[in-house]
Structure 1
């Protein structure tokens, strides 16, 4: 499995996540969860894995809303947004 390395740069992370979601043939995992004091977005598609984590919930909310604008299937991001709101 190829792992997509992430930086702390939100713009690059958004591009990588949108590219992975738009280019994948099979989306296996697309979820958000708490891991300690961080909130982590997990994407596993085809042979690539992407993780994006933040400490501030508002940062994750902003990331997901911006990601929704960049993907071909925004309804997938909507599901993750609902899941994120239920974490609180």
Structure 2
């Protein structure tokens, strides 16, 4: 799945600052619009990262960002700190 957290964060902050000129309602609307637009722009400009949902041996799921490595669904991986490493088949 594309990972666009940075774009959404910057978009929401920018929207907040612009919308605040119209008052509290404008600030809320600005945050929502900026959040959506920031993620969309980051993905459209092909600057999004990649995030993977992984499941450990206890069945707990978590989302891990992987800016460089690419994996296929179902591939076995090991988490080493904040990084994912493919397990040999």
Q: TM-score range by the shorter chain?
A: under 0.3
The structure in which a higher percent of residues are strand is 1
Pick 1 or 2: higher relative contact order, CA cutoff 8 A, min separation 6.
1
| Greater Rg by CA | 2
